[in-house]
């Protein structure tokens, strides 16, 4: 993280958990922000945030928190987006920048268009792609975003300088910032993140129904199985919200995946070894090419 | 690996790659075997085996290799099982024990019933469950089987002492040996190993067909994606053989999996958040329970 001149006077983080807390912590360390106010439901969590020096104050209420805010990060569970936007809209200053950290974007943009109205020019939808196996402010780390990707999906209404400030803040956290259209973001994340989660959850639920006891069935499951199913240990609440938010793109991906699985089943049913090997080789090549590109970047 | 008295005078390993080579190396280290003969197609590979001291001699031909053999391990690619069994059957001594290391067992047992005939009482089907990302004798390690599971699926015809010797040899390699019926082995491996491989290969092939370029599509794929797809980098040849060998059990698993995926898609289409969260929680619990059992064992 490169040290920086002060960029913000007052930052407000709504939802001071792993994501919001790590954002505050990283900016605090760079000295890019003078004062950080935290807004949250859990008294205990907010007290921890204060004790760890992640925030300077716990907002008594949203109104006073927003009074002098330069930048507001929405980092609460995406299920609360509508509710929070309704609450903050009336109290936002004309130039207060609002951004978010949700894993899906179309739903957030729709909510913003419905509730932020006049402040839409100040809204910068964002998605930091950073692991979140634990949650809560105690899991927050100042380097959570170091080297990680952050995708911004600005609206045509969004002010250029609002986008620039948001980019600068994420870069100050050590993140690599990219821009893309809302629909492209949701489509790509559905394919490479949401679909694999559905497939892993489904494998475990399929195995639940086996006539063999879980003990017998999984006794010999090895490292390949452990890695393949790791994402099936993700938070059910968080993934419920993500799936509902990105429902149509995800259903499209699952339908196309089933089609692909049917193709492989037909090859198997025909006992076509050559076609099988070709399919497996293509899959491996696709993955190896990706790994090679990663090593280069 | 616990040191042992000599258990075998002459071991013959047919197919001295990662699996056969590591078996020979482990037994050589324990001193449990006096003389090891290697049989293989690739001259270069066999020369490496000799140079590394994994085998004492390269068999000039199968006939002389089997002449005084006490124990023969079939460790060549499973696609060659029929062919090799046909070749060795006429030259096996009345008490020579024959075992194998194939990932599927019904096909091997069927081949044995067809070709080994009088020697069926000496045949002990086996499956060492040990990682095989690289291949060839240069990848062989003396501790490849340390702490790993080996499943034996003896026939009703199999001599007790043939089973006992096979168990003793794998234990000498440091492996944990289990017994199970052939059909149970193939059913369980189809569910916990072969199915996940099909799902990972299919995801990559599904992504190949995306309208987005692989560069755009996978640019933001993270650690969850990397772990989920790791087994899609497995050997296409090896998995072609495994899938064809365990075809019916695997097709059964894929069909049941698709049914489970349809259930989840219906829940998504109905936007039923409660049912979604319940499904994800059940999946996570199934996995966490498995991990807890592993920690205890």
Give the C-alpha separation, A262 to B259, whole Å: 12
Given pLDDT bands bounded at 50, 70 and 90, which one contains residue A131? low
Distance CA A212, CA B286 (A): 14
- Work out the minimum CA distance from B30 to partner chain A, whole angstroms: 26
Prediction pTM value: 0.89
Predicted confidence (pLDDT) at residue A257 exceeds the cutoff of 80 = yes
Average of per-residue pLDDT across A143-157:
96
Phi, psi of B275, rounded to the nearest 5 degrees: -65, -35
* Of the candidates B86, B15, B96, the residue with the CA atom closest to the CA atom of residue B49: B15
pLDDT of A158 higher than 90 = yes
The pLDDT assigned to B136 comes to 85
The confidence score (pLDDT) of residue B223 equals 87
Percent of residues, chain A, with pLDDT higher than 90: 89
How many Cβ pairs within 8 Å bridge chains A and B? 285
Confidence bin at A3 (pLDDT 50/70/90): low
pLDDT, tens digit, for every residue of A26-35?
999 999 999 9
Determine, for residues B198 and A283 on separate chains, whether the beta-carbon distance falls below 8 Å: no
Flag if B131 and A222 touch (Cβ within 8 Å). Answer: yes
Residue B86 to chain A, least CA–CA distance (Å) = 22
Cβ distance of A199 and B228 shorter than 8 Å: yes
Q: Which two tokens stand for residue B25?
A: 């190396």
Residue A91's alpha-carbon distances to A33, A135, B103, B221, B224, in angstroms, are 21, 29, 65, 37, 39
CA distance A57 to chain B (A): 34
Q: Give ∠ CA B143-B81-B110 in degrees, rounded to 5.
A: 110
Per this entry, what is the length of chain B? 297
User: Average pLDDT by consecutive 10-residue portion of chain B (297 residues)?
Assistant: 73 96 96 95 94 95 93 93 95 96 95 94 96 78 95 97 96 96 96 97 97 93 93 93 94 98 98 98 97 85
Query: Does position A151 have pLDDT exceeding 80, yes or no?
Result: yes
CA distance B242 to B79: 9
Residue A1 has pLDDT above 60, yes or no: no
Domain ranges of chain A: 8-180, 185-296
- Judging contacts by C-beta atoms under 8 Å, the chain A residues touching residue B242 are none
Contact across the interface for B258 and A254, Cβ inside 8 Å: no
pLDDT reported for residue B267: 98
Residue among A182, A171, A183 at smallest CA distance from A126: A182
**Does A199 contact B281 at a Cβ distance shorter than 8 Å?**
no
Structure token pair of residue A128 = 């930091």
Q: Is the dihedral of CA A154, A159, A164, A167 positive or negative?
A: negative
Q: Which residues contact A77 (CB under 8 A, 6 or more apart)?
A: A15, A237, A238, A241
Say what the pLDDT of residue B1 is.
45
From B227, B240, B251, residue closest to A265, measured CB to CB:
B251
> Binning pLDDT at 50, 70 and 90, where does residue A132 land?
low
The domain made up of A185-296 has a fold known as 6-phosphogluconate dehydrogenase C-terminal fold (1.10.3660)
Residue B296: burial class (beta carbons within 10 Å; 0-12, 13-18, 19+): exposed
The pLDDT score that the predictor gives to residue B2 is 52
The whole-chain average pLDDT of chain A stands at: 94
Min Cα distance B209 → chain A (Å) is 9
Q: What is the mean pLDDT of residues A33-52?
A: 95
Asked if the Cβ–Cβ distance from A283 to B202 is below 8 Å, we say: yes
What is the CA angle A38-A43-A49, rounded to 5? 45
Q: Is CATH 3.40.50.2300 what the domain over A8-180 is classified as, yes or no?
A: no
Helix (H) or strand (E) holding B152: strand B149-152
Q: What is the pLDDT of residues B105-140, one digit of tens each?
A: 999 999 999 999 889 999 999 999 986 567 789 999
């Amino acid at each position: 993280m490169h040290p920086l001149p002060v960029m913000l006077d007052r930052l407000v983080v709504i939802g001071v958990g792993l994501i919001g807390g790590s954002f505050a912590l990283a900016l605090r360390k760079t000295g890019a922000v003078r004062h950080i106010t935290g807004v949250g439901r859990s008294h205990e969590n907010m007290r921890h945030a204060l004790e760890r020096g992640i925030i300077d104050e716990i907002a008594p209420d949203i109104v006073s928190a927003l009074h002098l805010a330069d930048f507001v990060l929405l980092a609460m569970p995406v299920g609360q987006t509508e509710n929070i936007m309704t609450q903050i809209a009336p109290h936002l200053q004309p130039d207060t920048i609002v951004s978010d950290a949700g894993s899906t974007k179309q739903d957030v943009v729709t909510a913003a268009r419905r509730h932020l109205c006049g402040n839409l020019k100040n809204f910068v939808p964002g998605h930091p792609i950073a692991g979140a196996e634990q949650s809560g402010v105690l899991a927050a780390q100042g380097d959570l975003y170091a080297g990680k990707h952050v995708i911004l999906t600005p609206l045509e209404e969004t002010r250029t300088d609002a986008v620039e400030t948001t980019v600068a803040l994420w870069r100050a956290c050590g993140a690599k910032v990219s821009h893309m259209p809302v629909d492209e973001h949701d489509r790509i994340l559905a394919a490479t993140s949401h679909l694999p989660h559905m497939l892993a959850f489904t494998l475990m639920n399929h195995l639940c129904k086996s006539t063999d006891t879980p003990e017998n069935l999984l006794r010999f499951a090895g490292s390949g199985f452990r890695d393949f199913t790791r994402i099936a240990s993700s938070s059910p609440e968080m993934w419920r919200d993500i799936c509902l938010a990105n429902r149509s793109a995800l259903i499209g991906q699952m339908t196309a995946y089933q089609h692909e699985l049917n193709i492989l089943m037909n090859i198997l049913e025909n006992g076509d070894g050559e076609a099988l090997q070709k399919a497996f080789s293509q899959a491996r090549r696709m993955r190896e090419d990706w790994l090679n590109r990663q090593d280069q970047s």
